[in-house]
Amino acid sequence: MNKKIWFMEGLSSQRDIIQGVKSFAQKNNFAITVFASHRNERNEILSVADYSLTEPEDPQKRLQFIQETIQTYGIHHIHTGRNSQWFEEHRSAIEPTGATLTTGATGVDWLTLADEKVTFAQFMEQKGLPVVPSWRVNTLAELKTHLAAPPFTDSPVCVKPVTGIYGMGFWRFDDSASPMAVFNHPEHRLVSPQQYIAAASAAESLIIPNIVWSVRNSILQQHQLLSRLNPLF
């Protein structure tokens, strides 16, 4: 039986997920048809699906669009990228149509927990999972204090917002970083602490970050986590 999976609006990484699903289906001789949709022209995502759809811009029209699409194309499963909280709030109206729903959680409370990085890390640590150690910083003065006496002695300090997309607002502190590094090579996410503090001080509103490990140690932590989870797959 041909299974139809619908990937609704997500981030650019959704392209890799879709390609992974199609590759898995091909290698294992599974009949899977992939649908993808987005409100915007995200061809890097939509082009790798078997079928692409345009989602309504008005959230008030989203539920009807989903129900009609499931009925029209016989969708078996929906995977969400963005708007996960909305989907959890409307799960009871979506799943009676016959399609199952994956949001990354099983309720709004879990999504709220996952979006708050410091609290989520503490929760995972309580469950015995490896996490990237972090400190919550509520003011610029607190950040300066942490930089004066770094909480990590063997790794550079990094900074990122407590909530929001995990890669957004992430910067690695390096005292030797050129003042032009953030402009010439923003993809390196490297900035001197002095330059970051100066920019934050000049900003009208400061996005409060939390301190995390360096990228090098973050990757090692991820490898440890994947090695523990690998038997599940």
In the structure, what pLDDT confidence band is assigned to residue 74 with cuts at 50, 70 and 90? very high
What CATH number matches the domain at 3-111, 3.30.300.30, 3.30.70.2190, 3.20.20.150, 3.40.50.20?
Answer: 3.40.50.20
Q: How far apart are CA 51 and CA 42, in angstroms?
A: 13
The whole-model pTM stands at: 0.67
Q: At what angle do helices 117-126 and 108-115 cross, to 10 degrees?
A: 110
In the structure, what pLDDT confidence band is assigned to residue 221 with cuts at 50, 70 and 90? very low
- Residue 81 confidence (pLDDT): 84
Residue spans of alpha helices (H) in the chain: 14-27, 43-46, 62-73, 84-89, 91-94, 108-115, 117-126, 140-148, 181-184, 193-202, 215-229
- Residue 1 confidence (pLDDT): 66
Q: How far apart are CA 87 and CA 62, in angstroms?
A: 10
Most confident of 67-81, 110-124, 159-173: 67-81
Q: How far apart are CA 200 and CA 170, in angstroms?
A: 14
Q: Tens of pLDDT along 131-178?
A: 877 888 888 888 888 888 877 767 778 888 877 766 677 888 898 999
Domain residue extents for the chain:
3-111, 116-232
